[in-house]
């Protein structure tokens, strides 16, 4: 989501203020730091990064520094208090106001702060992407109304708001006309998508997926992230459409009903297993990935073993896992937590090792199979090679001409490495 927002900031400033992007901060007239506050560590990094940029203002007094994203939303004017050389503070929902904020900062030399949640105004104000890759993100909804007890998102990004379908479809049509072949629909909980079409008919994510699949040129669709509670039968049936990648990211967080209740996830482990079984009745070999929080306040060894058990039942593919991080204003921040940090770390290591074993098995089982891959770029490691992603989200490197970038090709997988695959081109 932040990657998408950052690219929109670049598009805004380039198209509306004729700026050019530079990778060298010493050369910049404007530096924007897009931030994440989902855990404490990335939040702390914000101030150390700002500290590194501070001296640039001595050489270039005209330099404007802006802080956006969820830390900006959460901390507001405290950012200016702690780092008075920051000129602009804007939240995830106000990044479309950047050009005006920038003009004001240049003119008045006074800091400005706008971290409001002006509904979904942002999207109608954003320009089309200036440059495109074969695979693109498209945001379909913002915010979250689930209020899981550990999570800061509803406070920093606001409540769930869905984008009108026409706007989404126009953005995707524009992208596909420019060569984009894969669309990744984005939102904190995309399956909470609720909208109406121009005739007033109700639309949910399953309906939107069908409309996206009907767009000429769009050949692969992904969506992220979903909540198990709203991973409903209509959405499961959407996987009958082969344009949906054979991959699902459906975070479960924990395999213990007791912890899920404390997390206020509003479902039990059984529901999760049931949904995956239904999905596998349609796509027997689909890759399932998840997010896990380890060491939630009061998590016992038994609770943790239940999570390990669930990992074995589902056979999760490569996933994201984190040690619980206490976030300001969330209910979990006040929960009694008697699990020592060393214990949490050891659980995290065990969980990650088990996930790696599963993911490795899946990669090994792909050797010798034929995979349809969207070629996205030149390989970073091997000059002369090109790279793409399999449906189950693995990078594959193989020999082939650069002009295949942007096309789907069939490959035979020849080798499975820990973080990527190698392959041979078939056609």
Binding site for ligand SAM (CB under 6 A): 38-39, 150-151, 153, 188-189, 225, 227, 251, 253, 291, 293, 322, 324-325, 327
Q: Which does 324 bind (CB under 5 to 8 A by kind): ligand SAM, ligand SF4, none?
A: ligand SAM
* Token duo for residue 34: 């897009």
Residues 185-204 touching ligand SF4, rule: CB under 6 A, are 188-189
Shortest spacing between CB 329 and ligand SAM, in angstroms: 11
Q: How many CA atoms lie within 13 A of 214 on its CB side?
A: 8
Q: Which does 147 bind (CB under 5 to 8 A by kind): ligand SF4, ligand SAM, none?
A: ligand SF4
Q: How far apart are CA 292 and CA 21, in angstroms?
A: 36
- 256 in contact with ligand SF4 (CB under 6 A): no
Beta pairing, strands 182-186 & 395-399? unpaired
Place of tokens 């297993």: 273
Shortest spacing between CB 299 and ligand SF4, in angstroms: 16
* Token duo for residue 280: 């596998």
Shortest spacing between CB 144 and ligand SAM, in angstroms: 6
Q: How far apart are CA 193 and CA 207, in angstroms?
A: 10
Shortest spacing between CB 156 and ligand SF4, in angstroms: 10
Question: Measured from the CB atom, is 188 or 363 closer to ligand SF4?
Answer: 188
Shortest spacing between CB 252 and ligand SAM, in angstroms: 8
Bridge partners of 288, per DSSP, are 248
Binding-residue total with ligand SF4 (CB under 6 A): 10
Sign of the four-CA dihedral 329, 331, 332, 335: positive
- 254 in contact with ligand SF4 (CB under 6 A): no
- 92 in contact with ligand SF4 (CB under 6 A): no
Q: Which does 327 bind (CB under 5 to 8 A by kind): ligand SAM, ligand SF4, none?
A: ligand SAM
Bridge partners of 244, per DSSP, are 221
Q: Which does 39 bind (CB under 5 to 8 A by kind): ligand SF4, ligand SAM, none?
A: ligand SAM
Q: Which does 267 bind (CB under 5 to 8 A by kind): ligand SAM, ligand SF4, none?
A: none
Three-class SS state of 28: coil
Question: Measured from the CB atom, is 293 or 375 closer to ligand SAM?
Answer: 293
CB–CB of 227/188 below 8 Å?
A: no
Shortest spacing between CB 151 and ligand SF4, in angstroms: 3
* Token duo for residue 13: 């400033």
Distances, alpha carbon 56 to alpha carbons 64, 106, 175, in Å: 10, 16, 37
Beta pairing, strands 395-399 & 385-389? antiparallel
Q: Which does 154 bind (CB under 5 to 8 A by kind): ligand SF4, ligand SAM, none?
A: ligand SF4
Shortest spacing between CB 376 and ligand SF4, in angstroms: 27
- 208 in contact with ligand SF4 (CB under 6 A): no
Question: Measured from the CB atom, is 226 or 379 closer to ligand SAM?
Answer: 226
* Token duo for residue 48: 């150390």
Question: Measured from the CB atom, is 97 or 227 closer to ligand SF4?
Answer: 227
| Residue 288 φ/ψ region, left for φ over 0, alpha for ψ in the -120 to 50 degree band, beta for the rest | beta
Q: How far apart are CA 300 and CA 256, in angstroms?
A: 10
Residues 106-165 touching ligand SF4, rule: CB under 6 A, are 144, 146-148, 151, 153-154
Shortest spacing between CB 136 and ligand SF4, in angstroms: 22
DSSP secondary structure letter of residue 244: B
Question: Measured from the CB atom, is 35 or 189 closer to ligand SF4?
Answer: 189
Shortest spacing between CB 196 and ligand SF4, in angstroms: 23
Q: Which residues of 113-142 are buried (b: 16+ CB within 10 A; e: fewer)?
A: bbbebeebebbeebeebeebbbbbbbbbbb
369, exposed or middle or buried, with CB in 10 Å at 0-12, 13-18, 19+?
exposed
* Token duo for residue 423: 């392959």
Question: Measured from the CB atom, is 68 or 251 closer to ligand SAM?
Answer: 251
The residues that touch ligand SF4, with contacts defined as CB under 6 A, are 144, 146-148, 151, 153-154, 188-189, 227
């Amino acid at each position: 989501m932040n990657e998408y927002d950052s690219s929109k900031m670049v598009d805004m400033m380039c198209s509306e203020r004729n700026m050019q992007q530079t990778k060298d901060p010493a050369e910049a007239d404007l530096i924007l730091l897009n931030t994440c506050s989902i855990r404490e560590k990335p939040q702390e990094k914000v101030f150390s990064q700002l500290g590194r940029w501070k001296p640039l203002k001595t050489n270039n007094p005209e330099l404007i520094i802006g802080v956006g994203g969820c830390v900006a939303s959460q901390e507001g004017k405290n950012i200016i208090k702690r780092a008075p050389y920051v000129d602009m503070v804007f939240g995830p929902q106000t990044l479309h106001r950047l050009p005006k904020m920038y003009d004001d900062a240049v003119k008045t030399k006074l800091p400005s702060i706008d971290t409001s949640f002006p509904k979904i105004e942002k999207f109608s104000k954003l320009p089309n992407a200036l440059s495109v890759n074969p695979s693109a993100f498209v945001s379909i909804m913002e915010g979250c109304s689930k209020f899981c007890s550990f999570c800061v998102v509803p406070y920093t990004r606001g409540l769930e708001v869905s984008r009108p379908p026409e706007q989404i479809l126009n953005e995707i049509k524009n992208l596909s006309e420019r060569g984009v072949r894969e669309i990744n629909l984005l939102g904190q909980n995309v399956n909470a998508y609720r909208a109406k079409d121009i005739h007033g008919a109700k639309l949910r994510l399953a309906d939107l997926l069908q409309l996206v699949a009907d767009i000429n040129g769009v050949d692969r669709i992904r969506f992220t992230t979903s909540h198990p509670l709203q991973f409903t039968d209509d959405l499961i049936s959407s996987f009958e459409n082969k344009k949906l990648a054979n991959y699902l990211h459906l975070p479960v967080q924990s395999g213990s009903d007791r912890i899920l209740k404390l997390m206020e996830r509003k479902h039990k482990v059984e529901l999760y297993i049931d949904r995956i079984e239904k999905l596998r009745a349609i796509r027997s070999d689909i890759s399932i990935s998840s997010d896990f929080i380890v060491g939630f306040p009061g998590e016992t060894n038994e609770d943790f073993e239940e999570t390990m058990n669930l990992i074995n039942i589902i056979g999760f593919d490569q996933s994201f896992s984190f040690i619980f991080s206490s976030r300001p204003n969330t209910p979990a921040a006040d929960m009694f937590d008697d699990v020592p940090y060393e214990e949490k770390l050891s659980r995290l290591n065990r969980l990650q090792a088990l996930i790696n074993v599963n993911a490795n098995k899946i990669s090994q089982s792909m050797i010798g199979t034929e995979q349809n891959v969207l070629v996205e770029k030149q390989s970073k490691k091997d000059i002369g090679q090109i790279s793409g992603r399999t449906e189950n989200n693995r990078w594959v490197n193989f020999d082939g001409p650069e002009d295949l970038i942007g096309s789907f090709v069939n490959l035979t997988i020849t080798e499975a490495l820990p973080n990527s695959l190698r392959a041979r081109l078939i056609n």
